[in-house]
Amino acid sequence: AQTVTQSQPEMSVQEAETVTLSCTYDTSENNYYLFWYKQPPSRQMILVIRQEAYKQQNATENRFSVNFQKAAKSFSLKISDSQLGDTAMYFCAFMKRVWETSGSRLTFGEGTQLTVNP
Amino acid sequence: DAGVIQSPRHEVTEMGQEVTLRCKPISGHNSLFWYRQTMMRGLELLIYFNNNVPIDDSGMPEDRFSAKMPNASFSTLKIQPSEPRDSAVYFCASSRSGNTIYFGEGSWLTVV
């Protein structure tokens, strides 16, 4: 079974500054995906970024980037130039990569509540 | 493209009543998931389907919960009878063959 751990229940950052959210996971799988989802007060789950475990290059989406350390099973999210709209709960998630069409499920961490202060 | 569509967005019902939540996955996606989110337990996977077939329903709390997927474009999650502890946000999500999972906006259920 997979587990995902986010050790920071809450974080805050000043607008325009950079913040890093931590995530560690445990798995015996070699092929998998890692995700960060954002959940603003509206409660909608929004995909922020995706990393494929077989890729060494860290994923980047505009102001969002990850530091993926496969050997250490670490997957942190860096938000640059933080904006007020980044205030949300952020969930780290793991999904085993499947080659057949049997589908796969997400395992979520507990979440980190990020507050961006003006 | 339309995302995952859920209805109703909000529902308030009395204890003992039947509740039906509905979901339309993204066209072309063959996996569908029902998650529940509460303050106490966070995000829990209730059940997921692949090609309309239930693959894992081990997260379904008890016999009061049932889910169906009669075709590739529609699924329901039913609670009968509902109880106050069922109050939560219920998310439907879909994906294509083990790729990224996309979520609907959620159905907020309050059982009084």
Q: How confident is the model at residue B19 (pLDDT cuts 50, 70, 90)?
A: very high
Instruction: Report pLDDT for A26.
Output: 95
Each residue's pLDDT tens digit, A68-85? 999 999 999 999 999 999
Q: How confident is the model at residue A103 (pLDDT cuts 50, 70, 90)?
A: low
Task: Return the number of other C-beta atoms located less than 10 Å from residue A68's C-beta.
Answer: 20
Instruction: Report pLDDT for B39.
Output: 87
Each residue's pLDDT tens digit, B31-82? 999 999 998 888 999 999 999 999 888 889 889 999 999 999 999 999 999 9
Nearest to B98 among A37, A98, A108 (CB): A98
- Structural contact between residues B52 and B39, judged by C-beta atoms closer than 8 angstroms: no
Tokens representing residue A49 in the block: 């970024």
In chain B, what residues touch A44 (CB-CB under 8 Å)?
103, 105-106
In chain A, what residues touch B52 (CB-CB under 8 Å)?
none
Nearest to A108 among B30, B43, B50 (CB): B43
Q: Spell out the residues 6+ positions from residue B89 whose beta carbon is closer than 8 angstroms to its own.
A: A43, B36, B37, B38, B106, B107, B108, B109
Nearest to A97 among B49, B98, B108 (CB): B98
Given a cut of 80, whether residue A98 has pLDDT beyond it is no
Instruction: Report pLDDT for A34.
Output: 95
% of chain B surpassing 70 pLDDT: 98
- Structural contact between residues B111 and B44, judged by C-beta atoms closer than 8 angstroms: no
d(CA A27, CA A114): 26
- Structural contact between residues A56 and A66, judged by C-beta atoms closer than 8 angstroms: no
The full DSSP string for B5-30 is: EEE-SEEEE-TT--EEEEEEPPTT--
d(CA A25, CA A39): 20
Q: Considering only residues A19 and A29, tell me which one the structure prediction assigns the higher pLDDT.
A: A19
Q: Is any Cβ of chain A less than 8 angstroms from the Cβ of B55?
A: yes
Task: Return the number of other C-beta atoms located less than 10 Å from residue A14's C-beta.
Answer: 11
Q: Is any Cβ of chain A less than 8 angstroms from the Cβ of B56?
A: yes
- What is the rounded average pLDDT for all residues in chain B? 93
Q: What letters, b where the CB count within 10 A reaches 16 and e where it falls short, cover B53-65?
A: eebbeebbeeeeb
Averaged pLDDT, B19-28: 97
Given a cut of 60, whether residue A100 has pLDDT beyond it is no
In chain A, what residues touch B97 (CB-CB under 8 Å)?
98, 101, 103
